[in-house]
């Protein structure tokens, strides 16, 4: 299974935008880029003060991120802030055609959980593969997650107790890798999705 070329190009561009340059560290990550593009699509035009509040980043970080997005042609200035360009819409659509992130009623962490599905990536078949994904999430700040999906038509979440797997049967999607995490893990989940897409672009 491999990811579509459009998704590979989009994930690569988002990764490039959020990568540090000249030894400096950026306070925003791929997840922030995707969320910002979604916000501009849904609510644009939006100015820096509002984006600062919505994304939880400092104003200097938002200014730098918007500058990067302008340089790559994903957003442009409008009278009252920034709006998504056609190129930005195409990049966001390519990502959304490949990943799904939504809140579901799966009371494994609290009453609700976020479920990320990366359709073009095979679910893990063993604990070693789960640990690779989990370690990436932990490094990105998400310490609790459940990772698996359908393998050969059978639901599998390696290393997860059967009672939890039973809870997930009603919400798991029968394609790609399924990752469940608490709602506060939205940014790390999108970060991991970009990473998974790039790994699936071989």
Give the model confidence (pLDDT) of 89-121 as tens digits. Answer: 999 999 999 999 999 887 777 667 889 999 998
Distance in angstroms (rounded) separating the CA atoms of residues 135 and 77? 38
How many Cβ atoms from other residues are within 10 Å of residue 62's Cβ? 25
Cα of first residue to Cα of last residue in the chain, in angstroms, is: 10
Q: Is the pLDDT of residue 25 over 80?
A: no
* Mean pLDDT in residue range 66-85: 94
- CB-CB contact of 87 with 74 (8 Å): yes
Report the number of secondary-structure helices (H) and strands (E) in the chain. Answer: 8, 7
- CB-CB contact of 18 with 28 (8 Å): yes
Task: Calculate the average pLDDT of the chain.
Answer: 90
- CB-CB contact of 78 with 44 (8 Å): yes
CA distances to 15, 61, 69, 86 from 81, rounded to whole Å, are 24, 16, 13, 17
Distance in angstroms (rounded) separating the CA atoms of residues 12 and 69? 14
Q: What is the CA radius of gyration of the chain?
A: 17
Q: Is the pLDDT of residue 24 over 70?
A: no
Determine the pLDDT at residue 111: 65
For each of the domains in the chain, give its residue range(s) and CATH number, in order of start: 5-94 (1.10.10.10), 99-199 (3.30.1360.30)
């Amino acid at each position: 299974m491999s990811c579509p070329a459009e998704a590979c190009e989009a994930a690569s561009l988002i990764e490039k935008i959020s990568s540090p340059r000249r030894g400096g560290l950026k306070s925003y990550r791929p997840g922030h880029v995707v969320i910002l593009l979604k916000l501009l699509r849904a609510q644009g035009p939006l100015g820096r003060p509002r984006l600062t509040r919505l994304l939880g980043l400092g104003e200097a970080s938002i200014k730098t991120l918007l500058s990067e997005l302008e340089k790559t042609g994903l957003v442009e200035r409008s009278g009252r802030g920034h709006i998504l360009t056609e190129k930005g819409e195409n990049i966001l659509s390519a990502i959304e055609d490949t990943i799904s992130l939504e809140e579901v009623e799966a009371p494994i962490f609290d009453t609700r959980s976020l479920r990320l599905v990366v359709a073009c990536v095979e679910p893990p078949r063993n604990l070693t593969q789960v640990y690779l994904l989990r370690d990436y999430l932990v490094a990105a700040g998400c310490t609790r997650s459940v990772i698996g999906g359908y393998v050969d038509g059978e639901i599998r979440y390696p290393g997860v107790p059967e009672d939890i797997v039973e809870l997930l049967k009603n919400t798991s999607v029968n394609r790609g890798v399924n990752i469940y995490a608490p709602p506060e893990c939205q940014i790390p989940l999108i970060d991991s999705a970009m990473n998974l897409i790039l790994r699936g672009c071989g």
